[in-house]
Amino acid sequence: MSDKGISHEYLNDLVFDLEKAFWDERGRGCRFRMMEVGREIYESDCKSRIRSSEIPAIISAVGEVLKEMNVIGSVSFEQEDLTLRVSVQGCLHLPVEERMLEYGIEPFTCVPANLIIMGIEDKLDRQVELAEIKCENGVCQLLLIVFDRPASVV
């Protein structure tokens, strides 16, 4: 094997082909099957870096890991009650999402979103749904919904 790395274009072409094939097979139903993409990265690289059960700390830790891996440029967010609006800039996978949009397919998976969701679910024991992904001007806008814990039944 050579020291020369594999191009991002090559890898994103493969990711696109896999996502497109899955979409062609399952349509919107594939969205919920993709939530586990990134589980190994979460377990090996993110989990130990999350030192607080606060949402800002979780997002910050995941963002730091992804920046160190050169996957994203930055991540920021706004929280309103149980709604998180997360902005991911400079994502390595943005070309995949843009290409999906060219085929009329709404983006349905996002590794940075998945890692944030895994962190919140792991550290806060709360379910999170990726409700929307919008890609505009090189930024992915993610809408995450954090669900309240159900009341205890006595």
Residue type, 117: I
Mean pLDDT to the nearest integer, 21-43: 89
Please check whether residue 37 lies inside any domain of the structure. yes
Evaluate whether 92 touches 66 at the Cβ level (below 8 Å): no
Give 81-93 pLDDT, tens digit per residue.
889 999 999 999 9
Half-sphere exposure of 135 (CA within 13 A, CB side): 20
What's the pLDDT at 1? 43
What's the pLDDT at 149? 72
Evaluate whether 115 touches 38 at the Cβ level (below 8 Å): yes
Task: Give the number of domains in the chain.
Answer: 1
* Phi, then psi, of 44 in degrees rounded to 5: -85, -30
Give 68-79 pLDDT, tens digit per residue.
999 999 999 999
Which CATH number belongs to the domain containing residue 129 in this structure? 3.30.1380
Mean pLDDT to the nearest integer, 16-24: 90
Please check whether residue 2 lies inside any domain of the structure. no
Threshold 0.95, pTM exceeds: no
- Checking if the pLDDT of 153 tops 80, the result is no
Residue type, 39: R
Give 98-148 pLDDT, tens digit per residue.
999 999 998 989 999 999 999 999 999 999 999 999 998 989 999 999 998
Q: Cα(154)–Cα(152) distance, rounded to whole angstroms?
A: 6
Residue whose token pair is 């919008």: 134
Please check whether residue 17 lies inside any domain of the structure. yes
Residue whose token pair is 């159900």: 150
* Phi, then psi, of 74 in degrees rounded to 5: -160, 165
- Give the domain extent around 69: 8-146
Q: Cα(19)–Cα(122) distance, rounded to whole angstroms?
A: 26
Please check whether residue 153 lies inside any domain of the structure. no
